[in-house]
Amino acid sequence: MIKAVYPGSFDPLTNGHLDIIERASQLFSSLVVAVVRNPGKTPLFTLEERVDILRNTIHDRRVEVKSFSGLLVDFLVQERAKVIVKGLRALSDFEFEYQMALLNRQLSSEVDTVFLMTCKEYAFLSSSSVKEIASLGGSVKGMVPPFVEEKLTSRFGLAESDLGQKVSLE
């Protein structure tokens, strides 16, 4: 029985995140999707909203959604997990995540990090780009689950008819 943790801000949850969650849940006996409270960032959605979005989107009994703050390795100890799952889109992701994996290993020699490459359909996708597109009235259909699309539409005060309309530069 190997328990893994997939940490992230998930602000917002994207189809790329869901791809990693689905694939990681097939590799480990259980998976905790750990939504981090990062005091250095101002998220679009509150921690509670992000947890709620994940719980309303993931329907796999092997996957739990929890929140945490502090050191990731401390959360792994608390959860009795030994593996951190990280998704990679590009070489730049690898450089950062490799450094974090080494730091986590230094903090706890019992922790390993497993990297999963994103599917090519989502290699361009990031939460930041989704937020920017949605804030400017662009369509994020196919980038996020429908529930998240509704939340973004509501958050930015856009009507469904406003999404995807082009802005005229006159």
* Residues known to be catalytic: 17, 41, 89, 127
Structural contact between residues 145 and 116, judged by C-beta atoms closer than 8 angstroms: no
- Closest-CA residue to 73 (of 50, 39, 98, 103): 103
* CB contact set of 16 (below 8 Å; sequence gap of 6+): 87, 89, 118, 119, 122, 125, 126
Question: Where does the chain have alpha helices with state H?
Answer: 15-27, 47-57, 72-79, 91-107, 127-135, 146-155
Q: Interior CA angle at 149 toward 49 and 21, to 5°?
A: 70
Distance CA 57, CA 53 (A): 6
